[in-house]
Amino acid sequence: MADAPPAGAMRVAVTGATVVGQEGRWRTLHSFGQIIDELARHVARIAYHAPLAVDDDACDYELTAANVIVRPWFAWGTSPGAMKHPLRLAIGYWRLVGEGDAIFVRGSGPLNWLVHLFARFRRRRVVHWIVGNPLAIMAGADRGYGRLGRWLGITFARTERLMLRFSARISRAALLVNGEELARIFRSPRTVSVVSTSIRAEDLREREDTCGGDEYRVLYMGFLRPEKGIEHLIQALPLVRSPRPVRLILAGSAGSFGPYVDGLKSLCERLGVADRVEWAGHVPFGPARFRYMDDADVLALPTLSEGTPRVLVEARARCLPVVSTWVGGIPSSVRHEVDGLLVPPSDPAALASAIGRVLTDGELRRRLIRAGYERTRSMTIDAFVAGIVSVLRDPSRPASFQGEQAAAS
């Protein structure tokens, strides 16, 4: 393995999200774009290899760092779409590895375990940030692919996981994984559990309490997809016991899952709650998203599979209490009864009970708000990227990752 140059002289090749735009004006996922721009402040150059986006709305962050060079790939939309072009993928990953002293990979993209094999051959350092669990997503929710499609998806996800575990050992990569569940799956001497974040210090907003209006506002913010379990939140709405009317705001885009959203709207009609559900559509990160959080009384995330959702950090940073589920890496981010409430997945009654507790028990709510705010004060992008830089220079010491140390404090 080549000796690491000083951080300021390091060239980093990056992949992990989609892009849209043209030369000089590229947009990507906000959550990853912020990290790329912050990382660019610490290194000489970033070559960002990314497929062109199919869903333009998801790319709501314009890259601004002058030392970020975007290398757009062909648009593939889904993993099955990408797998129609294995040679193009392999060539892309080979070129990616050739552009950096160190390689930073986000997520479990199709065949991206090839990066590790190529990096070992070309003597490059690798840091792989594993943000979610595709196998759990495919196994836990019906995404409308049919029985055969679902079986093929599970088989593909299982194979990709095995290949990633094997190839990461070959490359001696550092693995940054979202939460303890993924840390167990990808256990190695170079694995460290982290918590995703998208906030900066200026995004924090302190307040003592919520629930000061004439009605209670329950906010869901995220993609409208089957694995998010939104139907269970809608089923929970009429079960919430409260002295005031309860309104549910669903903020997020459906992408290619329009039929799923149609089913959710039909469910609202059947349950007689359609007039109490607001469909806000996609809300970009920043002032618009913060306004929704500041106007809400509790954030509910009924997800069936997850890494460490950034929205749970964002909400607590705005002093909005959170209710979520005992799945994936969420217990690594939210401590039950300390800075949030957690319930079993797919359990509308338990979800309604937890939401009702937050809405009606002021002492509990204020305690959750205070603890959540204090914990997220150290969960900033600056700390997270400082940890990435440290590990990029020496992947053999992933415990030096400062973001996780701060998050766990």
**Domain map of the chain by residue range?**
7-197+380-408, 201-376
113-150, pLDDT tens digit by residue?
999 999 999 999 999 999 988 888 777 767 677 788 88
77-118, pLDDT tens digit by residue?
778 888 899 999 999 999 999 999 999 999 988 999 999 999
Which tokens go with 314? 């964002």
Domain with residues 7-197+380-408, CATH architecture: 3-Layer(aba) Sandwich (3.40)
pLDDT given at position 384? 93
Are 46 and 19 in contact by the 8 Å Cβ rule? The answer is: no
Annotate 205-243 with b (16+ C-beta within 10 A) or e (fewer): eeeeebbeeeebbbbbbbbbbbbbbbbbbbbbbebbeee
Of the listed ranges 150-154, 204-208, 261-265, the one predicted with least confidence: 150-154
Are 250 and 223 in contact by the 8 Å Cβ rule? The answer is: no
155-166, pLDDT tens digit by residue?
888 999 999 999
pLDDT given at position 405? 41
Spatial distance between the Cα atoms of 154 and 85, rounded to a whole number of angstroms = 20
The answer to whether 7-197+380-408 and 201-376 have equal CATH topology is: yes
pLDDT given at position 171? 96
pLDDT given at position 404? 43
Spatial distance between the Cα atoms of 202 and 339, rounded to a whole number of angstroms = 21
The candidate with the shortest Cα–Cα distance to 383, out of 205, 206, 194, 204, is 194
The upper half-sphere exposure of residue 292, i.e. CA atoms within 13 Å in the direction of its Cβ, equals: 26
The candidate with the shortest Cα–Cα distance to 289, out of 197, 219, 365, is 219
Which tokens go with 176? 């940054």
With a CB cutoff of 8 Å and minimum separation 6, the contacts of 171 are 115, 116, 117, 119, 120, 126
pLDDT given at position 346? 96
Quickly name the fold that domain 201-376 has: Rossmann fold (3.40.50)
Spatial distance between the Cα atoms of 308 and 290, rounded to a whole number of angstroms = 19
Mean pLDDT of the chain: 91
User: Over 90: is that where the pLDDT of 403 sits?
Assistant: no
Higher pLDDT, 102 or 31: 102
User: Over 50: is that where the pLDDT of 76 sits?
Assistant: yes
Pairing status of strand 25-28 against strand 19-22? antiparallel
Question: Residues 239-260: what's their mean pLDDT?
Answer: 93
Q: Give residue 407's pLDDT band: very low, low, confident or very high (50, 70, 90).
A: very low
37-65, pLDDT tens digit by residue?
999 999 999 999 999 987 677 788 999 99
Spatial distance between the Cα atoms of 85 and 192, rounded to a whole number of angstroms = 33
Question: Residues 293-299: what's their mean pLDDT?
Answer: 98
pLDDT given at position 1? 56
Burial class of 172 by CB neighbour count within 10 A (0 to 12, 13 to 18, 19+): middle
With a CB cutoff of 8 Å and minimum separation 6, the contacts of 114 are 89, 90, 93, 94, 167
Higher pLDDT, 285 or 221: 221
pTM of the model: 0.89
Of the listed ranges 104-113, 191-200, 331-340, 389-398, the one predicted with least confidence: 389-398
Q: Give residue 3's pLDDT band: very low, low, confident or very high (50, 70, 90).
A: low
Q: Give residue 385's pLDDT band: very low, low, confident or very high (50, 70, 90).
A: very high
Which tokens go with 59? 């790319």
Are 136 and 328 in contact by the 8 Å Cβ rule? The answer is: yes
